């Protein structure tokens, strides 16, 4: 697989990464530990060198699986993890980006991952109670100590990114971005390009919807996060099927799958974008990574943009209480 530079601070990774969350959290029952390890090692064998996890995924269980899976190849991969939440009885209870807490999370994540450094350490969500300068300053100290290599942010607003970057240069921003959600194009992407910050789109397949395998009759496991996402109500899924119908027709004409076109479109936007689709299935892993070989022409991209502009997407991407945490 080809590699890309995430930003301008020397972090080189595979053009497509692996979002590890679903192995342990949010999209139904967790995989058995040995199955998760096998899937992550299969991703590495197929050329993936960028793996995204967080203490919040499980909580904590995902980091342990990632650490065990990648231990034999630790020096050949980049591992991203995150700080910024507190937990009560195994559930996210609030935000906490106090410097002392960042350091505690770093030490705990190093232990769970079985490593001596975190390649990319993201603030998972901006904490309005802690000045971003204090957050960036603490990460800078962890970088100076060699425990962290690069500083990242997730779902942050442009002004906050600028303030953080002035204290400790931000290597990458992670936010949702796909054919189904293009809001970052207005303000975030120009800011990242100006500052030389890489972009890591999560949910590049629209939380699975852009695969064409979900319709208004699909039922989700009781533990699946999509049960509370407005865009995934049966009514909104039915309304949004027009989008996937068009994408499927477009993909078939190019001997690709809808998922591969959706990922190829992201890859075509900027050379400093690295999407991190996740999956729990080996055949989906192969499908996703096949997107790196799908070349979209300028005419293809214009046709996609024209079609997308004519299709209304129904439903918010987050429930209200989670929407309040983004764009700060």
- Residues carrying an active site annotation: 57
Burial class (CB in 10 A: 0-12, 13-18, 19+), 78: buried
| Calpha distance 158→179 (Å, rounded) | 21
Which stretches of the chain are DSSP H helices?
21-24, 33-45, 61-70, 99-113, 132-144, 158-167, 188-195, 234-253, 258-269, 282-290, 298-309, 320-323
Burial of 34 (0-12, 13-18, 19+ CB in 10 A): exposed
Closest C-alpha to 189, from 116, 250, 266: 266
Q: The sheet that has 118-123: what strands, in order across it?
A: 18-19, 50-52, 78-83, 118-123, 148-154, 170-176, 198-202
Distance CA 23, CA 276 (A): 13
């Amino acid at each position: 697989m080809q590699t890309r530079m995430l930003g301008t601070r020397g972090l080189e990774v595979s053009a497509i990464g692996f979002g590890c969350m679903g192995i342990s959290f949010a999209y139904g029952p967790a995989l058995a530990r040995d199955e998760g390890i096998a899937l992550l090692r299969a991703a590495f064998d197929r050329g993936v060198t960028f793996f995204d996890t967080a203490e919040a995924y499980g909580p904590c269980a995902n980091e342990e699986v990632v650490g065990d899976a990648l231990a034999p190849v630790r020096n050949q991969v980049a591992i991203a993890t995150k700080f910024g939440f507190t937990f009560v009885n195994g559930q996210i209870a609030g935000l906490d980006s106090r410097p002392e807490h960042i350091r505690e999370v770093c030490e705990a994540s190093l232990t769970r991952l079985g490593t001596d450094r975190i390649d990319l350490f993201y603030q998972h969500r901006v904490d309005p109670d802690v000045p971003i300068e204090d957050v960036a300053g603490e990460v800078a100290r962890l970088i100076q100590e060699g425990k962290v290599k690069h500083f990242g942010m997730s779902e942050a607003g442009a002004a906050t990114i600028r303030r953080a970057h002035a204290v400790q240069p931000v290597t990458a921003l992670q936010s949702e971005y796909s054919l189904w959600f293009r809001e970052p194009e207005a303000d975030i992407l120009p800011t990242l390009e100006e500052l030389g910050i890489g972009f890591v789109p999560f949910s590049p397949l629209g939380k699975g919807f852009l695969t064409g395998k979900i319709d208004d009759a699909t039922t989700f496991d009781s533990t699946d996060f999509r049960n509370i996402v407005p865009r995934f109500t049966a009514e909104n899924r039915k309304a949004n099927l027009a989008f996937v119908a068009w994408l499927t027709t477009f993909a078939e004409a190019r001997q690709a799958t809808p998922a591969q076109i959706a990922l190829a479109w992201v890859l075509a936007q900027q050379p400093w974008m690295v999407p991190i689709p996740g999956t729990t299935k080996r055949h989906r892993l192969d499908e996703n990574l096949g997107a790196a070989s799908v070349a979209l022409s300028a005419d293809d991209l214009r046709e996609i943009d024209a079609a997308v502009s004519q299709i209304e997407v129904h439903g918010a991407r987050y429930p209200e209480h989670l929407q309040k945490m983004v764009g700060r």
